[in-house]
Amino acid sequence: MTFTNENIQNEISKILTSCAVDQQIAYRRIINHIDLTTLEGNDNDEKVRKLCHSAYEVENAEKQIPSVAAVCVYPVFVKTARESLAGKNINVAAVAGAFPSGQSPLEVRLAEVRYAVEQGADEIDMVISRGRFLAGERDFLREEVSKHKEACGNAHLKVILETGELLEPNLIYEASMISMEAGADFIKTSTGKIQPAATLEAAYVMLTAIKAYYDKTGKKIGFKPAGGISDPETAVQFWKLVKHINGDEWLNNQLFRYGASRLLNKLVDAVV
């Protein structure tokens, strides 16, 4: 499959125009797809506890507002998040494996993944080594994803492509397919640390890859746009792409997440 930027933009325009959704229903449902995240150098236990509190306090039965899907933190805060979310139906995710650069030795990265899982992480968000992929080392991408998946044990693996550095749509498609073949449970656009982060163009390519992989194998792989999705209207555009390309079967938080912490309060405010 070959992509051009013009064709991608034309297809996205058609989808956004033709795909109708109820905005209010979508806002509520998107809340339940958010990975509420803090990944800053000034993170500490108290900040993580407050984030976890926000993750479930947003729930409002009267307004039919659900809790978020997960809280995502650095590995050293997994235990704090796990304790803070005890009894809540909210997963703990950890970025692990030399986030956000992917530029540490593979064994060091895998040790960090195993540590996060031992601390109680339900999900691991790893980042691929874009430099080696762009240098043509396709086998290394396959190896690193496969070994991260093995290190995850029972935890789900979300593979971050950092599409803002891959840029070329055909490379994004290739990295998506290799990652899925090597064991990714999810493929994710971005770390949120590089611009451009989540774009509709990258999402279109990745979702097309997910559909092709499903058609070939029957295996459903999840999708997570992350970074820069800061308003409800933009969030709904990603929702429409998933609905149109992959179908309603993907519109649940087992197969579709948003990495968009700034979005949460705006979605809650938009619910009437």
Cα gap 132→102, rounded to integer Å: 10
What confidence category does residue 125 fall into, taking pLDDT thresholds of 50, 70 and 90?
very high
What confidence category does residue 226 fall into, taking pLDDT thresholds of 50, 70 and 90?
very high
Average pLDDT over residues 129-150: 97
Q: Is there a domain that residue 272 lies in?
A: no
- Amino acid at site 60: N
Which residue in 189, 101, 185 sits closest to 149, CA to CA? Answer: 185
Q: Is there a domain that residue 180 lies in?
A: yes
CB < 8 Å & 24+ apart, contacts of 86-89: 88/55, 88/56
Cα gap 255→272, rounded to integer Å: 27
The CATH number given to whatever domain includes residue 239 is 3.20.20.70
Q: What local confidence, expressed as pLDDT, does residue 261 receive?
A: 83
Q: What is the DSSP letter of 88?
A: S
**Is residue 75 pLDDT above 90, yes or no?**
yes
Number of domains in the chain: 1
Could you give the residue numbers annotated as active site?
125, 188, 224
Name the phi and psi angles at 122, rounded to 5. Answer: -85, -25
Q: What local confidence, expressed as pLDDT, does residue 1 receive?
A: 78
For the chain, the average pLDDT equals 97
Q: Is there a domain that residue 102 lies in?
A: yes
Which residue in 164, 170, 79, 80 sits closest to 127, CA to CA? Answer: 164
Number of H helices, E strands in the chain: 12, 7
- Amino acid at site 223: F
Average pLDDT over residues 64-93: 98
**Is residue 260 pLDDT above 90, yes or no?**
no
Average pLDDT over residues 135-140: 98
> For residue 226, what are the β-bridge partners?
259
Q: What local confidence, expressed as pLDDT, does residue 98 receive?
A: 84
Average pLDDT over residues 87-95: 97
pTM for the model: 0.96
- pLDDT tens sequence across 18-65: 999 999 999 999 999 999 999 999 999 999 999 999 999 999 999 999
Q: What local confidence, expressed as pLDDT, does residue 23 receive?
A: 96
What confidence category does residue 97 fall into, taking pLDDT thresholds of 50, 70 and 90?
confident
Q: Is there a domain that residue 114 lies in?
A: yes
Q: Is there a domain that residue 246 lies in?
A: yes
How does DSSP assign 131-152, residue by residue? HHHHTT-HHHHHHHHHHHHHHH
**Is residue 265 pLDDT above 90, yes or no?**
yes
Q: What local confidence, expressed as pLDDT, does residue 7 receive?
A: 97
Average pLDDT over residues 234-239: 98
Terminal Cα-to-Cα distance of the chain (whole angstroms): 43
Cα gap 130→147, rounded to integer Å: 16
Average pLDDT over residues 9-23: 97
> For residue 16, what are the β-bridge partners?
none
Q: Is there a domain that residue 236 lies in?
A: yes
Q: Residue 164: which domain range? A: 5-267
Q: Is there a domain that residue 43 lies in?
A: yes
- How far CA 196 is from CA of 190, 200, 208, in Å, comes to 9, 11, 20
Q: Is there a domain that residue 177 lies in?
A: yes
Q: What local confidence, expressed as pLDDT, does residue 3 receive?
A: 96
Q: What is the DSSP letter of 12?
A: H
Average pLDDT over residues 184-191: 98
What confidence category does residue 262 fall into, taking pLDDT thresholds of 50, 70 and 90?
confident
